[in-house]
Structure 1
Amino acid sequence: MKFLIVGLGNIGPEYALTRHNAGFMVLDRLAAQHDFSFTMTRLAYTAKWQHKGKQLFFVKPTTFMNLSGKAVLYYMKQENIPVENVLIITDDKDLPFGKLRLKPKGSPGGHNGLRNIDELLGTQEYARLRVGIGNNFSKGRQVDFVLGAFPEDELIQLPDYLDRAGSAALAFCTMGIQMAMNNYNQ
């Protein structure tokens, strides 16, 4: 059984540790823990890994956040992976830092990357793992906040947080969405 796990983010060193790159960070952490690596391919950095009898295909789109759907659609078709086996990992400013929310479907909630995926897939019926980044910004400063670096106190907690998010993504593939939600949603 094949799964497509997509971490959303923006490419380039200036975005590496920004809140908007939470999806990339989760996949990078999984790669480091399980000794697989990403290579540059069409529209994305990709990696394959076998886990508990499942073939996992990881994607970090190089299209920038707002055009993430291009890479998602391309690799769903390329790898012949049905939408029910797709998981999108993204940041969420409406969740406090440290909170995870795994859902089987939903609206983009103001997230332009998810909006583009919805448009290109023609559905909102795909799983998403939302990684809370908080919303400690003043009116009109949302872009600066999401494209800003994590403060020192959050950076200290970030490895454990990313580990939990990675475990939730793997649970989606091995346990199914309902059990993974029961175990990881807080």
Structure 2
Amino acid sequence: MIKAIIGLGNPGKQYKNTRHNVGFMVVDIVAFLLKCPKKEKECCFSKIIECKEHDVLLVKPQTFMNNSGIAVKNLLEDYNLTPQEILVVYDDLDLPLGSIRLRKSGSSGGHRGVKSIIENIKTENFPRLKIGIGRPQHKSQVADYVLSPFNKDEKLLVEKVINEAGKCLLNVLKYGVDKSLDSCNKKLI
């Protein structure tokens, strides 16, 4: 049973609408869909909404992407959670924009935020929801690409993806990861 949804991103207004912050965007839509209280508490190097009515924590680590594991490790310790009780939401360069992929576990796939989590909690065995953001033409452009906002043409699709990811996570909370895999894995193009 999932007890915490952790969206990865970077704190600060300058990063708010960037590709790297889709995890934060998904956590926000889940809070809206569940009608959770808007009050965020600061704990475990994170901003946390305790959605008690649904017995779930909605978490946005504030350690910056590459150090996400510090926040996640603290969350697990402070709330006495296992890695299988969290679900991490993050951007994925290897999935095309418009894609959503739910997985029960796996490697970091080169994502530094996920790598930090794996290193800090000492396991790859935690569920995750990957949000495709596509890849720039040249490898040298990756850092600028993930820290850039979605362009005008992409924004409508991104809104649909964020909403679909939110619905997927409601299914996960209700039915579990295993029963949600087929319905959550989709491409919205």
Q: Using the alignment, how far apart are the partners of 2:98 and 2:85 within structure 1?
A: 25
Q: Which moved more, 1:56-65 or 1:152-161?
A: 152-161
Unpaired runs of 5+ residues, structure 1, are none
Identical pairs, percent: 35
User: What TM-score does the superposition give when structure 1 sets the normalisation length?
Assistant: 0.93
Specify the SS of the correspondent of 2:60.
strand
Alignment map for 1:85-104 (pairs within 5 Å): 85-104=85-104
Q: Which moved more, 1:128-137 or 1:37-46?
A: 37-46
Runs (4+) of structure 1 exceeding 3 A deviation are none
Q: Using the alignment, how far apart are the partners of 1:174 and 1:50 within structure 2?
A: 15
Q: Using the alignment, how far apart are the partners of 2:166 and 2:123 within structure 1?
A: 25
Q: Give yes or no for contact 1:104–1:127 (8 Å, CA) kept in 2.
A: yes
Q: Which residue of 2 aligns with 1:39?
A: 40
Which residue identity lines up with residue 122 of structure 1 in the other structure? K
Q: Using the alignment, how far apart are the partners of 1:165 and 1:101 within structure 2?
A: 9
Q: Using the alignment, how far apart are the partners of 2:159 and 2:30 within structure 1?
A: 11
Which residue identity lines up with residue 44 of structure 1 in the other structure? S
Alignment map for 1:17-96 (pairs within 5 Å): 17-33=17-33, 34-42=35-43, 43-50=45-52, 54-96=54-96
Q: Using the alignment, how far apart are the partners of 1:2 and 1:155 within structure 2?
A: 29
Q: Which residue of 1 aligns with 2:127?
A: 127
Task: State the Cα distance separating 1:2 from its structure 2 match.
Answer: 6.0
Task: State the Cα distance separating 1:35 from its structure 2 match.
Answer: 4.4
The two structures, once aligned, show a CA RMSD in angstroms of 1.5
Assess, with a 3 A threshold, how the Cα gap between structure 1 residues 50 and 171 changes in structure 2: closer, same or farther.
Answer: farther
Assess, with a 3 A threshold, how the Cα gap between structure 1 residues 161 and 37 changes in structure 2: closer, same or farther.
Answer: same
Q: Give yes or no for contact 1:96–1:132 (8 Å, CA) kept in 2.
A: yes
Specify the SS of the correspondent of 2:110.
coil
Task: State the Cα distance separating 1:181 from its structure 2 match.
Answer: 0.7
Task: State the Cα distance separating 1:70 from its structure 2 match.
Answer: 1.2
Q: Which residue of 1 aligns with 2:162?
A: 162
Task: State the Cα distance separating 1:139 from its structure 2 match.
Answer: 3.3
Q: Using the alignment, how far apart are the partners of 2:138 and 2:2 within structure 1?
A: 42
Q: Which residue of 1 aligns with 2:108?
A: 108
Q: Using the alignment, how far apart are the partners of 2:42 and 2:51 within structure 1?
A: 16
Specify the SS of the correspondent of 2:140.
coil
Which residue identity lines up with residue 48 of structure 1 in the other structure? E
CA deviation map 1:5-32 (0-9, x unaligned): 1000000111000000010011112223
Q: Does 1:181 align with 2:149?
A: no
Q: Using the alignment, how far apart are the partners of 1:97 and 1:50 within structure 2?
A: 33
Q: Which moved more, 1:136-145 or 1:3-12?
A: 136-145
Q: Give yes or no for contact 1:5–1:57 (8 Å, CA) kept in 2.
A: yes
